[in-house]
Amino acid sequence: IDAELGPDGSPEKMPVYYTGSVSLGLEEDQYWLSELQVYLRSNFAEAFGATERDIAAPMHGRNKPIALGQVGIRCIHCKNEPATARGQQAVSYPSLVSGIYNSVQQMFRLHFDCCTTMLPEVK
């Protein structure tokens, strides 16, 4: 971690955040989730840390601003498209871990059919 000088001249640590992504699918999901949820988490959605680009993207219906490094859920198929071209519910930022299930369900219900970059065989 690089240090910057604070107002009093002492070093301050810069916040560290994760900017990569990881599949939501886990091997043990098969024991706890429906077959559909297992498929969606492995082939459709990923968790990621929000970047400056993500923060700048328009988010409709969001009450709180997105924070740098905040964990979000997004469609793996259209993640590299401009935010305006991704379609409805391509990205969400659940406020609690317990909200991941609902976020994936909403993504499936509202985004699955309108994702233009998802291959037909995945659908």
What does each of the 123 residues of the chain score in pLDDT, given as a tens digit?
445 555 666 666 656 666 789 999 999 999 999 999 999 899 999 999 999 889 888 777 777 889 888 999 999 999 999 988 898 899 999 988 889 999 999 999 999 999 999 988 877
Q: Is the pTM of this model over 0.75?
A: yes
Query: DSSP string covering 11-65, please?
Result: EEEPP-----EEES--TTHHHHS-HHHHHHHHHTEEEEE--HHHHHS--TT-SSP
